[in-house]
Structure 1
Amino acid sequence: MPALTYVTSVSGLHVLILCCFRPQHNGKFCQGSARLNQLCNTKPCQPSGVDFRAQQCAEYNSKPFRGWYYKWKPYTKVEAEDICKLYCIAEDFAFFFAMASKVKDGTSCSDHRGDVCIEGACEPVGCDQVLGSKATLDACGVCRGDNSTCKFFKGQYVLQHRANEYYAMVTIPPGARSIHVQEMEISTSYLAVRTLKRKYYLTGDWTVDWPGKFQFGGTVFDYQRSFNRPESLYAAGPTNETLVFEVSCPSVPVCLDVR
């Protein structure tokens, strides 16, 4: 006799569980997985909304940790295989801890990807919001697109200036996608990004930021720099404000690729 259990999770994940008990008339037990996952509530969250992973960390605020109480926030600077574990960092302290072996089903794997965690594993979500789909955005953000509606911009910055100054290379408007900035060879210069009002998001006021992911302008920028490779900066976009890309102390050409 089959039995169906339908569960709705507040995290935006429907779970359908099929159970077969005592098959009759020489029947067989159900084959394959007994669990079917489907996304729901796929509309973008409000910017003021509370992050689901943050909610899970906050649940430990009222629980003593080694005899003390802390305020916990999500910590996601972990290896890819650990992204679906609940790592939390103590607010105003420098330590983090794995509070749970897995986050709740439906938790986003990261802030800038649509993939979700299910049963402790990061599962892909296509641009069509279908779990397990391989549908992707093209360079200008069209789901399953072929770049035919894109307008591409590409250029090189090859001027040299005096040291100890910032020089603007290019200004990109809101709505830009697939942004690439790449040095042509290793140099002593640094890439910087600011707004039109001279608010620096990356490497401003002569403070050089470490490589990593930076969230600004409505998207996440991946800043790469090492001793044996040229600098690079990439963002999928879209941006939501005008951004000015600069270079400090330029000594070699910088190749700019903006789409």
Structure 2
Amino acid sequence: QQCCGRQHFQWISSRTARSEEDRDTLWDAWGSWSECSRTCGGGASYSLRRCLSSNCNTSNVTFIVCDCPVDSGDFRAQQCSAHADVRYQGQFHEWLPVYNDPDNPCALKCKAKGSGLLMELAPKVLDGTRCYTESLDMCISGMCQIVGCDHELGSAVKEDNCGVCGGDGSSCRLVRGHYKSQHASGKTEDTVVVIPFKSRHVRLILKGPDHLYVESKTLQGVKGQCILDQSGQYQLENTTLDYQKLSDKEVLRIPGPLGADFTIQVSGPDSIIQYIFYQPIVHRWRETDFFPCSVTCGGGYQLTSAECFDLRSGRVVVDQYCHYYPENSKPKPKLQECNMEPCLASDGYKQIMPYDLYHPLPQWESSPWTACSTSCGGGIQTRSVSCVEEDMQGTVIATDEWKCLYAPKMAILQPCNAFDCPTWMAQEWSPCTVTCGQGLRYRVVLCIDHRGLHAGGCNPTAKPHIKEECLVTVPCYKAIDTLPVEAKPPWHKQAIALDEETVVTEEPE
């Protein structure tokens, strides 16, 4: 186990130096730092100084945070459990910590497990105990002191929503949305959203009869599952899930960062799920080194480029991954001169490409877009993009891509036909064709496109039926053909004609 060290600080180990303040107020130099109040997991250390006069108005003690990344458990819970061998009201108890006391967060208040007994077991918690569970602020001498994310006492530096200390929020993006569960035939669950690894501040609210559950998948492909059946805290892939099951809704909070990709699913029909979280931008542009010089002598130029880098896998990926994030801006290539030495007469000129005012620079050239991959519902078109240049005879030929990187490369993918596919729309049923007994009723079913117009293109196998039997719960005392004319609805004649046909069609003539 790694031992705690005192990080981020410059230590004072002697009384040989005195600051201007020390001399002005007649304070002695600060003494050496005390041992950390904890062996690991975050604590406090103090230093003392001696007043050399009767006019010392400032404190003679100062504190710093001594911290390390090792998690050694809940410090407040350890202090409560230390009282398990002391009798209270004549018996021993297993004490559990009481957190986030708004009146006195630095008192050691504990509750007895299995009973309603709540006691203040000590007026002050040990130095280095967190004031609140969701804060870095810590108790020093019974007082709550501000601690920044840089682990400095009195520091106001905070983490941004991406988890970066003092960050500006540019390394992640806010994702919010809502989902209505619609279970298809044979399916028992719906996928609401996939929340990527390292996401933070996840909050989901489900309203309706559905139930939430979570599946995880690590970068190595290891899968896990968490069924949320009652209110409480759950652990999945070293991530704490705070779940509340209320009478009319379910609430899931995950502070993060997530230890894997989490897939949120629901089981049950007809619910609305709202979600919000901060997703890390895992694909970033990374500037490359300079490419080879355009000439071997006589003065040329060389360029840098930018490649899309996957922070999770540590590998370079295609540029489209970085283009996915609007927050990502590709660095512009840098240009510098190179190989400025004159070419030796004995060797002749070794210029690879003698660019000048009369010779055009290489440029990107694209092929036409392919046909869209789908006719509706959102598809993709592709094209090829290559770097070309003119040779000395004016013939356009393909060349190395780095020569064109002074200009942005054209996209090779674009969305197309993003409009919704046509769907069937059924109108209201007609009245029954009879006024008593069993008859037929009809409706009009239209194929409606994204413009609201009647068009083709709907799936014929999914077309709703246009006629069905109907029953009028009125006894028939006369034959149908002797009914009064005024009692026969407009569909009656067509229904009779349909019944007489040997092959019954679905639509009335």
Q: TM-score, structure 2 length as denominator?
A: 0.41
| Matching of residue 198 in structure 1 with residue 229 in structure 2 | no
User: Contact 1:109–1:117 at 8 Å: present in 2 too?
Assistant: yes
**Please, which of 12, 16, 20 is the counterpart of residue 51 of structure 2?**
20
**Please, which of 193, 201, 204 is the counterpart of residue 170 of structure 1?**
193
Q: Deviations over 1:182-220 (max 9, x none)?
A: 46xxx43466342343322x3x3xx4x2xxx73534455
- SS of structure 2 residue aligned to 1:80: coil
Q: Choose 1 or 2 for highest CA Rg.
A: 2
**Measured at CA, do residues 131 and 240 of structure 1 come closer, stay the same or move farther in structure 2, by a change above 3 Å?**
same
User: How far apart, in 2, do the equivalents of 1:133 and 1:191 lie?
Assistant: 43
State the one-letter code of the partner of 1:174. F
Judge which range, 63-72 or 213-222, deviates more.
213-222
Which residue pairs with 2:264 in the alignment?
245
- For residue 14 of structure 1, report the CA deviation from its aligned partner: 1.5
- For residue 29 of structure 1, report the CA deviation from its aligned partner: 1.6
**Please, which of 47, 60, 73 is the counterpart of residue 34 of structure 1?**
60
- SS of structure 2 residue aligned to 1:57: helix
Structure 2 counterparts to residues 1-259 of structure 1, below 5 A: 2=27, 6-11=33-38, 12-21=43-52, 23=53, 29-40=55-66, 42-46=67-71, 49-76=72-99, 79-161=101-183, 167-182=190-205, 187-189=207-209, 192-196=212-216, 197-200=224-227, 202=228, 204=229, 207=230, 209=231, 214=233, 216-217=235-236, 218-221=238-241, 232-247=251-266, 249=268, 251-259=270-278
RMSD of aligned alpha carbons: 3.2
- For residue 256 of structure 1, report the CA deviation from its aligned partner: 2.0
User: How far apart, in 2, do the equivalents of 1:117 and 1:56 lie?
Assistant: 14
- SS of structure 2 residue aligned to 1:56: helix
User: How far apart, in 1, do the equivalents of 2:155 and 2:240 lie?
Assistant: 23
User: Contact 2:109–2:120 at 8 Å: present in 1 too?
Assistant: yes
User: How far apart, in 2, do the equivalents of 1:14 and 1:39 lie?
Assistant: 6
**Measured at CA, do residues 198 and 232 of structure 1 come closer, stay the same or move farther in structure 2, by a change above 3 Å?**
closer
User: Contact 1:125–1:131 at 8 Å: present in 2 too?
Assistant: yes
**Measured at CA, do residues 145 and 7 of structure 1 come closer, stay the same or move farther in structure 2, by a change above 3 Å?**
same
Q: Percent identity?
A: 29
User: Contact 1:126–1:132 at 8 Å: present in 2 too?
Assistant: yes
**Measured at CA, do residues 97 and 19 of structure 1 come closer, stay the same or move farther in structure 2, by a change above 3 Å?**
same
**Measured at CA, do residues 160 and 84 of structure 1 come closer, stay the same or move farther in structure 2, by a change above 3 Å?**
farther
User: How far apart, in 1, do the equivalents of 2:271 and 2:157 lie?
Assistant: 39
- For residue 129 of structure 1, report the CA deviation from its aligned partner: 0.8
User: Contact 1:182–1:257 at 8 Å: present in 2 too?
Assistant: no
State the one-letter code of the partner of 2:215. T
User: How far apart, in 2, do the equivalents of 1:161 and 1:43 lie?
Assistant: 48
User: Contact 2:213–2:265 at 8 Å: present in 1 too?
Assistant: yes
Aligned length: 236
**Measured at CA, do residues 148 and 86 of structure 1 come closer, stay the same or move farther in structure 2, by a change above 3 Å?**
same
User: How far apart, in 2, do the equivalents of 1:190 and 1:159 lie?
Assistant: 8
Q: Deviations over 1:161-184 (max 9, x none)?
A: 59xx6543123233111323246x
User: How far apart, in 1, do the equivalents of 2:45 and 2:140 lie?
Assistant: 11
| Structure with a larger share of its residues in strand | 1
User: Contact 1:191–1:245 at 8 Å: present in 2 too?
Assistant: no
Q: TM-score, structure 1 length as denominator?
A: 0.73
- SS of structure 1 residue aligned to 2:225: coil
User: How far apart, in 2, do the equivalents of 1:168 and 1:176 lie?
Assistant: 18
**Measured at CA, do residues 152 and 94 of structure 1 come closer, stay the same or move farther in structure 2, by a change above 3 Å?**
same
- For residue 30 of structure 1, report the CA deviation from its aligned partner: 1.7
- SS of structure 2 residue aligned to 1:169: strand
- For residue 60 of structure 1, report the CA deviation from its aligned partner: 1.3
**Measured at CA, do residues 31 and 10 of structure 1 come closer, stay the same or move farther in structure 2, by a change above 3 Å?**
same
User: How far apart, in 2, do the equivalents of 1:225 and 1:145 lie?
Assistant: 35
- SS of structure 2 residue aligned to 1:153: strand
Give the gaps of 5 or more residues in structure 1: none
Give the gaps of 5 or more residues in structure 2: 1-25, 217-223, 279-509
- For residue 117 of structure 1, report the CA deviation from its aligned partner: 1.4
- SS of structure 2 residue aligned to 1:82: coil
